[in-house]
Amino acid sequence: MHEPMARYPSLADRVVFITGGGGGIGAAMVQAFHHQGASVAFVDIDDAASQALCRELEAQTGRSPCYRHCDIRDITALQAIIEEVSETLGPIRTLVNNAANDDRHDWREVSVDYWDERMSLNLRPMFFTSQAVAERMADAGGGSIINFGSISVRLALGDLPTYVTAKAAAHGLTRSLARDLGELNIRVNTVVPGCILTERQLDKWIGPEDEARIQQHQCLKVRLTPEHVAPMVLFLAADDSAQLTGQEFSVDAGWG
């Protein structure tokens, strides 16, 4: 953590489920919720990184998050893990739909199979995780679903049309579910990260010249990292944001 985060008493012992929690923004959120005293469960496909994160947090606090390997394209497996977590830890009160993949692709080369596979990763799990947690969440008194959008939608970025389409749809899903689930006291919001400099982004897409260009666009001339996103997610999960739903919250240093 770069700086100490605000403490939210309502998050103590709360069951939190995060997709893609093994690295990048997801790992920062696992750490942040864990240090709030929440009972954190997360899925990922990177066993080495996820298990190392669990060991690190256990060394720090004497307790470990619950990690399960899962390819979220397999909805049956994903929902089975949600069922297991709900039976073991209790009803999930916070769901964070974080996992995604923004591999670049040429629109000329997109096949039907590739399109469907990208949607099965970047969009479909958001709905089916929400469906899987909603009834227990409602029975427990309500909760918070946090979907991840992307600044790429607002900037109309090229070279990743399936990703941008899926993220645009995620914004619509948030608004629709906020209406449907509001009567169950379930809030649904979207977090919209800017250009977050994760290890993956730095390894694959962003060099020093790109960083300089990005900061020219940002109002705040800062280097955005996963730890800058986690505080917003904590706030939207906590009871302090109990009246907020159907909204988009940007963490982009003023670019979007």
Measured between alpha carbons, how far is 164 from 142 in angstroms, rounded to an integer?
30
3-class secondary-structure state, position 117: helix
The three-class DSSP label of residue 185 is: coil
CB 172, CB 129: distance < 8 Å = no
In angstroms, the CA 102 to CA 109 distance is 16
State how far the Cα of 146 lies from the Cα of 18, in Å rounded to an integer: 10
Strand partners, 98: none
- Catalytic residue (choose from 8, 67, 114, 163): 163
Query: Are the C-beta atoms of residues 146 and 94 closer than 8 Å to each other?
Result: yes
The DSSP-derived string for 92-104 is --EEEE-------
Please say if 67 is a catalytic residue: no
Active site residues: 163
